[in-house]
Structure 1
Amino acid sequence: MFSRRQILGGSAALIGAATWTRTSAMSLPEAPIMQEATTQPPLLPSAGPDYNPVVTLNGWSLPFRMTNGVKEFHLVAEPVERQMADGMTAYLWGYNGQSPGPTIECVEGDRVRIFVSNKLPEHTSVHWHGMILPCGMDGVAGLTQPAIPSGKTFVYEFDIVKSGTFMYHPHADEMVQMAMGMMGSFVVHPKDPSFMPVDRDFVFLLSSYDIEPGSYLPRIMEMTDFNMWTINSRIFPDVAPLVVRKDDRVRVRVGNLTMTNHPIHMHGYDFEVTCTDGGWVRPEARWPEVTIDIPVGGMRAYEFDAVYPGDWALHCHKSHHTMNAMGHDIPTFIGADKTSVARKIKVVQPDYMPMGTDGMADMAEMSMPIPANTIPMMTGWGQFGSLEMGGMFTVVKVREGIEPGDYEDPGDYEHPAGTVAYEWTGSLPTAAAAPEGSDEGSSMRSTPERQVMPSGGGHSGH
């Protein structure tokens, strides 16, 4: 069994499985659970080949034990409570205490044995999305295996034949179980540690829910009109930042288990897609991007060299996907005069606040009553004011001097003097004026500090 150190994996939030796991099924590996929706430190391998572990945004990696050369994991499918943001909790289904479930990490060439215990009120299965394995281990209930009844444990065992970025999710009552949050990431590291090395490796899944304001359960029958767009079942401003040391080589792995595509855009950099759930992309097939479309049921990994310090936004570029509790039946009031109608409404509803006549930004800046367990549609504050964001939004924080293994939020970026956009008052500051004799428009050229990245963005060597 795991030692306490192995079970904790550096996190006080990670605890042992429920009592029945330890006592009534002593031959099973422990099934640790996570009680917090916070990013846990990367879980260093305790046995087997070495690898650089991933960091799961607002999540964690599942510990394993070695039994006769086989890596054994234990997933527990169960109802969970997921804090989507401070002030809002969703009643979901997931694995080992959270949704998404823990990330599974292993190495190309490993043999894995994954115990899946079902504590849901109905049967389930697990499909290992993108993995090459025997048909009977593919996890399609009724087709390749019997469904796992409630209260039972099934075993999946197969060899890991390729490295890359994958997922796991049910293939039993899939519409309900995935709509309830049953999913997780599966990362396979290359057998050769010198292949595609990076300094920081992040992973997260995109999921969507329709949760009525004031309620806790997703509406599982919804097909298109979702109102909660999440990164690892978290919504901004409570999605963890990607904390990066300047000059690190960084990989970001993104999976999409919603019902629509998501163009993920990162500010301040160009990058190259280096991996899909189908495998690694050959160098000659890559091209520079600043936005990568993540298809439904797909995974993409992109890489960049963190040479530009700052707080850089990372978000879905579908504007409604950076909103919370989005109501799609609200009429457009831009340009309307609501003065008289607002006066009449306030007679019966004194707290009424007329909004939307000049746009929607005031919704992020004004406090108005909302139902319990509900997050404002637009929220989040930065050092310069309201961000007016939500949903699928977070920040890549690139800093000098961050120690290896340190993923703590470093706070707001301290901008060098003269590098923040400012109000025009009729003249330029002396320092900002073009030097005498320079060409017109010289301010449009790249500054010496911001070198153009070479095509391909080779490894930094750190």
Structure 2
Amino acid sequence: MTNLSRRGFLGSSGLALASGLTAGAVSGRAAFAGVPEAPTMADAATQPPLTPTTGPDYQPVATLNGWSLPWRMNGDWKEFHLVAEPVERELAPGMKAYLWGYNGQSPGPTIEAVEGDRVRIFVTNRLPEHTTVHWHGQRLPNGMDGVGGLTQPHIPPGKTFVYEFQLRRSGTFMYHPHSDEMVQMAMGMMGFFVVHPKDPAFRRVDRDFVFLLNAFDIEPGAYVPKVNTMLDFNLWCWNSRVFPGIDPLVVGRNDRVRVRFGNLTMTNHPIHMHGYEFRVSCTDGGWVDPAAAWDEVSIDCAVGQMRAFDFVADEPGDWAIHCHKSHHTMNAMGHSVKTYIGVDQKELAKRIRKLTPGYMPMGATGMGEMGSMEMPLPDNTLPMMTGFAQFGPVEMGGMFSVVKVREGLAKNDYKDPGWFKNPEGTVAFEYQGQLPAPARAAPPGADAPAWRVKDPRKPVSGAQGQARPPAGGHSGH
């Protein structure tokens, strides 16, 4: 696995553990001798799936701009080690953020296991405050549920706790803190948890992609998110990445494909994929019975929910996949930017250029021009719309990627194949013929004055020119 540091990750036996119904602390040199090393990851690119070499067979997942956490077997236990720690994450080329995460990244690594596995997860806290881990959607003993103060003590800085439980059902899950939750999730602490079916043939696909929806409010030039933001986020992410930093979903033609995602933002996201209809196959509540599955081209995912859909990739091409809230496919949005559509700024621009040479008025005809402009930006921020493809600027950002369906890909080939070579005659083109003059409504006449903007602060004149009170008649209020 590229840039994966296993830091030893050696098998060991004879662990000194606090077993029982409550997550237990590990302390002392003798106990730590039995704790598996914690792998870490520095690369923000999608890593190859972690194919199992022992135990039950399953199709491993590909974590978009992420990786899966290696484990070791210790007797009957599958052991993982998560380290909660400050991390530096590149959101897209040209912008980094100082976040909190696990094992070197935000989100943390995906945990993969099999229905029936007994998992033992060590969690070491290297944050400046206490934390816990909640295993979202899992059935487990109450004391392993990870709610600080309610089901377990908080994990203090510098301490390691152990979670032990058996995976009772397969499906699509996630993990995140339940300790100073608002701050820690706003700082990027979360990760995917996939439990594969015990039967390798059950609902099997050829490629299985996972990612989490998260969001940050980071001012231009800053590096740390504003954790108190409730709604006005300016960076909408998949796995703490924004377009054009989000990798494509690369699949072979006729592959059976599953896409799984979970939502840890503060609003819902209708995820739309071009070119296909798909079948909703799974939620964090369980698998959807095939007889009850339904066809969609967009599926909404509310806060705290997880969704998965399946399709057969039988249409080659570069197919967009994105959130259908248009503000969620933009970067570094300024929510107080004025609208200048239809405003003639030529004379104003001349005056401003006398004070600020090089000033460029924008927005009079829309914002599409921003996609092709390369203007100076403050340090550590991104254009609102960015990214180029074979036909020009894509004019997107945020929650946007591309499903790249290609002929002849090897089973484990996830490399970006470049842009799709469209067969001749299959690209939209400019019409070169003559067009008849379009029929339009007649312009306003003398008896139909043109629309104009009224100043609501000024009174409306009556028939004799006297000032008329506003609607409602309460002129003195």
Structure 1 letter corresponding to 2:388: W
Structure 2 letter corresponding to 1:191: K
| 1:216-255 alignment runs, 5 A limit | 216-255=223-262
How big is each residue's C-alpha offset from its partner over 1:354-396, in whole Å with a ceiling of 9 and x where there is no partner? 1000000111111212101111000010101110000000000
Partner Cα separation in structure 2 for residue 341 and residue 371 of structure 1: 24
Partner Cα separation in structure 2 for residue 427 and residue 344 of structure 1: 42
**TM-score normalized by structure 2?**
0.86
| 1:61-460 alignment runs, 5 A limit | 61-426=68-433
Structure 2: runs of 5+ lacking an equivalent: 10-27, 436-477
Structure 1 letter corresponding to 2:184: Q
SS in 2 for 1:285: coil
Structure 1: runs of 5+ lacking an equivalent: 1-9, 429-462
Matched with 1:16 is 7
- Number of aligned residue pairs: give it: 418
| 1:4-43 alignment runs, 5 A limit | 10-16=1-7, 25-43=32-50
Partner Cα separation in structure 2 for residue 102 and residue 419 of structure 1: 40
Change (3 A) 1:281 1:22: farther
Partner Cα separation in structure 1 for residue 252 and residue 415 of structure 2: 11
Give the deviation of 1:50 after TM superposition.
1.8
SS in 2 for 1:312: strand
Give the deviation of 1:260 after TM superposition.
0.3
Q: Is the 8 A contact 2:98 2:224 kept in 1?
A: yes
Give the deviation of 1:346 after TM superposition.
1.6
Give the deviation of 1:340 after TM superposition.
1.4
SS in 1 for 2:32: coil
Q: Is the 8 A contact 1:125 1:171 kept in 2?
A: yes
| Aligned pair partner of 1:58 in 65, 89, 108 | 65
How big is each residue's C-alpha offset from its partner over 1:123-182, in whole Å with a ceiling of 9 and x where there is no partner? 000000000001000000000000000000000000000000000000000000000000
Q: Is the 8 A contact 1:15 1:34 kept in 2?
A: no
Partner Cα separation in structure 2 for residue 376 and residue 22 of structure 1: 50
SS in 2 for 1:205: strand
Give the deviation of 1:284 after TM superposition.
1.6
Q: Is the 8 A contact 2:170 2:197 kept in 1?
A: yes
Partner Cα separation in structure 2 for residue 99 and residue 278 of structure 1: 25
Partner Cα separation in structure 2 for residue 80 and residue 117 of structure 1: 14
Structure 2 letter corresponding to 1:254: F
Partner Cα separation in structure 1 for residue 214 and residue 358 of structure 2: 34
Partner Cα separation in structure 1 for residue 317 and residue 325 of structure 2: 24
Partner Cα separation in structure 2 for residue 23 and residue 138 of structure 1: 27
RMSD of aligned residue pairs (Cα, Å): 1.7
How big is each residue's C-alpha offset from its partner over 1:257-295, in whole Å with a ceiling of 9 and x where there is no partner? 000000000000000110000000001211110000011
Q: Is the 8 A contact 2:3 2:42 kept in 1?
A: no
How big is each residue's C-alpha offset from its partner over 1:184-213, in whole Å with a ceiling of 9 and x where there is no partner? 000000000110010000000000000001
Give the deviation of 1:23 after TM superposition.
11
Partner Cα separation in structure 1 for residue 31 and residue 150 of structure 2: 30
How big is each residue's C-alpha offset from its partner over 1:325-351, in whole Å with a ceiling of 9 and x where there is no partner? 011101110000111111122222223
Decide which moves more: 260-269 or 44-53: 44-53
Give the deviation of 1:14 after TM superposition.
3.7
Partner Cα separation in structure 1 for residue 300 and residue 146 of structure 2: 27
SS in 1 for 2:370: helix
Q: Is the 8 A contact 1:47 1:66 kept in 2?
A: no
Q: List 4+ stretches of structure 1 deviating above 4 A.
A: 21-24
Partner Cα separation in structure 2 for residue 263 and residue 86 of structure 1: 26
Partner Cα separation in structure 2 for residue 391 and residue 46 of structure 1: 36
**TM-score normalized by structure 1?**
0.88
**Which structure is larger by alpha-carbon Rg, 1 or 2?**
2
Structure 1 letter corresponding to 2:418: G
Give the deviation of 1:426 after TM superposition.
1.2
Give the deviation of 1:226 after TM superposition.
0.3
Structure 2 letter corresponding to 1:78: E
Percent of residue pairs identical: 67
Give the deviation of 1:46 after TM superposition.
3.6
